[in-house]
Chains A and B, each alone.
Chain A
Amino acid sequence: MKKLVSAPALFVGAGVLLVIGALLAFWYAPIDASSMGFSQKIFYYHAPIAAAAIAAFGVAFVAAIVYLRTQDLLWDRLGYVSVRIGLLFSILVMITGMIWGKAAWGVWWAWEPRLTTFLLACFLYAAYWVLRSVVDEEQRRATYAAVFAVVAFVDVPITFFATRFLPEGLHPVVVGPGGGGMEGSVALSFAVCLVGMLLLMAALIRRDVEIELIKDRVTDLKTSLGG
C-alpha cells in the first residue's frame, strides 16, 4: 500500500520544509501589527500542528472505513497508528494553544470553541485507545475500533459547531471571512510550514505502521516456532 515513499524520505522532506518555513516565518513574514506582536509567530506552528492532528484523524477515519469493507488488518494498523500520531499532535496543539492564549488573551486556558473541541477530541481518541485495550480478540478489536473511529471523527465537527452556542469565542479568525486575507509573505510562509508539518505527520505514521507490521511478523514467527 504505502510503499511509494519511504519514511526517511518523507522525514527529510519535512525537515527541509520546516526549516525553510521557520526561516520564512521568523525573518520574512512581517511582525503582526496588532497587539500580539512577535508572539503572533506561534501561528506558524500552532495552526499547522492543528491541521496535522486533524489530518491524522482523517487518515484514521478513512482507514477505518476501508478496514470495515476489506477486513484487512493492514488498515487497522494504519488507523491505530494514525490515532496515536493524531493524539500526539493534539497534545502539542493544546500546549501551543495555551501559549497562544497566554500571549493573546493573557490567560492560560479559555473555554474557546477550537481549544475545547481539541480537548474533547483528545478524550475521544483516548477512549479509542482504552477500547482497543479491553478487546482481546484481534479481529473484533479492529472492528470495534474502526466503528468508534468513524463515529468519533463525525462527532468532532459537530462538537465544534455546538460550542458556538456558547458565548462568543476569542479565537482570532486569521483566514477566511472577517479576518481578511493573508498578506502574500504571510501566506507563503504559512503554506511552507503547513506542508512541512503534514509531511512530518506522514513520516511518523509511515514509520509507525512499519513498526506495527514488523511486530506482527515477530508474533507470527514466535507462534509458529512455539506451536
Chain B
Amino acid sequence: MSDGQDRQDGGAPLEIEVEGLRKTFGRREVLKGLSFGVPRGGFLSIFGPNGAGKTTTLRVLATLLTASAGTVKVAGHDVREDPMPVRRAIGLISHNAMLYPDLTAQENLRFYADMYGLTDADERISDLLERLELSARRYDVVRTYSKGMRQRLAIARAVLHRPRVLLLDEPHSGLDPRAVDILDGLLAEIRDEHTFVMVTHNIAKGLEWGTKLMIIEGGRIAYEHAAGVDHDAFSAVYREHVHDGSVL
C-alpha cells in the first residue's frame, strides 16, 4: 500500500520478482515468458506436469541456470548481474540431499558453514543438529544415515546460513510418511523465518502451505490464484489446465 510494488498480495514488498523470464536450452524454449512475484514471508506453491518448466524456474531462482531473457530479482538482487548476494540469500531443499556421504554430519555442515563464511558456525551447527534431533549421530558418517535422517540433515544444510528465501524442489517426493511428518513439522517451525517457493506434485501439501498458487504448463503460467482454494476445486482447475493426466 505504501509503495508501488504491491499487487494483490497486500503490503509486503516483493522478495522475489520475475519479469518476462525466458529460458532456452539450445533451440528448445522451456520457459516462455513467466512473470510473477512473491512478497516477503509469502509461500508460493508451483504445480504442473513433468517437463512444464517448474524445476527450471526454480533453478533459475537458485542461480544454477541463467535466464535467456527477462529479469529475475531475489532479495533485491538481480540473479544474473549480481549472483553472489542472491546465493547468500537462498537455500535449496530438493530430493537430492547434496551431502557428502563419506563425511560426518558435523563435517558436512562445517564445510558449508565455511563456504558461506559463517562467523558463529559452531553454535549454529550445534543448535540446528539439536533442533533436528541429529545431535546423537553428529559424528557419524552420512553414508550410515537413513533416508529420513539425510533429509533432515539436508534441511539443516539448506537453512544453515539463515537464508531469506527457501526454495523447495519436490521436497516430499521419495519420503516415507514418518519423514513427511518430520519435514512438515520443520516447515511449520521455520515458516515465519523465510519466504518460500515450493515446486511440487503433491496438491494437498501445496494447498496446505501456499499463500499463492500457480500452475505452469508448457513454459507459461496457466493459472495463478491467492490461497484459499479447496482441494476439489483446485483439482478441477488443475485438470482443466493440464491435460496429460499426470499424478495428482
Contact = CB atoms under 8 A, between A and B. Distances in A.
A and B touch in the complex (CB under 8 A): yes
Interface of A: 71, 73, 137-139, 142, 216, 219-220
Contacts of B25: 137-139
Interface in B1-57: 24-28
Contacts of A142: 26
A71 B69 CA distance: 12
Contacts of A219: 27
A142 to B, nearest CB: 7
B26 A220 contact: no
B65 to A, nearest CB: 10
Contacts of B26: 73, 137-139, 142
Contacts of B28: 138
16 contacts: A71-B68, A73-B26, A73-B27, A137-B25, A137-B26, A138-B25, A138-B26, A138-B27, A138-B28, A139-B24, A139-B25, A139-B26, A142-B26, A216-B27, A219-B27, A220-B27
Nearest to A220: B27
Interface in B86-133: none
Contacts of B27: 73, 138, 216, 219-220
A175 to B, nearest CB: 44
Nearest to B24: A139
B22 to A, nearest CB: 13
A169 B172 CA distance: 67
Nearest to A141: B26
A139 B27 CA distance: 8
Contacts of A137: 25-26
Q: Which 4 A-B pairs have the closest CB atoms?
A: A138-B26, A139-B26, A139-B25, A220-B27
Contacts of A220: 27
A106 to B, nearest CB: 52
A152 to B, nearest CB: 22
A40 B27 CA distance: 50
A219 B28 CA distance: 11
A14 to B, nearest CB: 32
A155 B27 CA distance: 31
Interface string B50-81: 00000000000000000010000000000000
Nearest to B25: A139
Contacts of A73: 26-27
